[in-house]
Each structure stands twice: as C-alpha cells, then as structure tokens.
Amino acid sequence: MGAILAGVAAPLLQLTGILTPMPVLHAPAVQAPGVVAAIAGLAATLYAQHGMGESWRIGVDPGETTTLVRTGVFGWVRNPIFAAMLVFAAGIALMTPNPLALAAFVVLLAAIEVQVRVVEEPYLARIHGRAYTDYRAAVGRFAPGIGRN
C-alpha cells in the first residue's frame, strides 16, 4: 500500500514544486517514453483483469478455488496484471523522475515479488497441483520465457 501511495504522491509533490525532478532524467527523451509506458501499462492491466474472467480477485482467499487461467495473455506470462502494473509504475517514475517516484517503483517491485513468490504461487500450487506445476514450467512469471520453474 505504501508503494501505491508514494507512487501517487510523487507526481503531485513534483507538480506542486515540493519535489524536484532528478536533472539527469528530466528530459523529453525520458518523459515521453514514460507517458507511453504508463498508458500501455494501465491498458494492459485492465486487459489482463478482463482476461481472468470469473477468476479475477484481489488477494488470496485460502478457502476459495478459482479456475487456473492459462489462455490469452496468461498463456504468455503467469502474472500479466502485476507485470502491467510495473510497466505503469515505471512509466510514472519516468514521467516524474524524482527520488520518491523512483523509490516507489522499487518498493512496488519488491512488494509484487513477495506477493507472487510467497502468497500467490504457493496458493496456486496447492489448489491446482500438477496443472499449475506444468503451467509454471512452461510460462514465465512476469515476461515470456523468464522465471519458469
């Protein structure tokens, strides 16, 4: 939650002049790709959420069993929502390259890694067994082909 709050606060604090951008990153050549990444990340997040259908949830309810989604974008990466959220956050950090925005991105990255590795993956392995083990071996965690295990 802290990463999200910091990610929202960083652009606002820069806009009001409380925070200043890092000079080395404060350039149209950095900010323009940031805008593109933020828009693409937001669109991809919504697309991936829609692709989960009735399996969409926030967090893990140990008593709930959902369908293992392996089609669409989930056939390319196991965690496309989290991956897209990181693209969005990276875009925001590039658009408003101040220390808080960059720190928020790093904290979000760490939080997502912990959520996926400590909470999500063990839950899915327990609920779906061999189907998830096979899926995990074939599809990358956040990018195609990367993080298969």
Angle between helices 80-95 and 2-15 (to 10 degrees): 20
- Determine what percent of the chain is predicted with pLDDT higher than 90: 64
CA–CA separation, 140 vs 149, rounded Å? 8
Three-class SS state of 61: coil
Phi, then psi, of 140 in degrees rounded to 5: -65, 155
CA–CA separation, 79 vs 112, rounded Å? 10
pLDDT band, very low/low/confident/very high, at 109 (cuts 50, 70, 90): very high
CA–CA separation, 116 vs 79, rounded Å? 8
CB atoms within 10 A of CB 79: 22
Question: For 32-74, what is each residue's pLDDT tens digit?
Answer: 999 999 999 999 999 999 988 777 677 777 777 788 999 999 9
CA–CA separation, 61 vs 58, rounded Å? 9
- What average pLDDT does the chain have? 89
Question: At residue 116, does pLDDT exceed 80?
Answer: yes
Q: For position 1, what pLDDT does the model report?
A: 65
Higher pLDDT, 10 or 136: 136
On whether the CB atoms of residues 67 and 124 are closer than 8 A, the answer is no
Cα 99 to chain centroid, rounded: 20
| Angle formed at CA 130 by CA 127 and CA 135, multiple of 5 degrees | 95
> Average pLDDT in the 64-89 region?
92
Three-class SS state of 77: strand
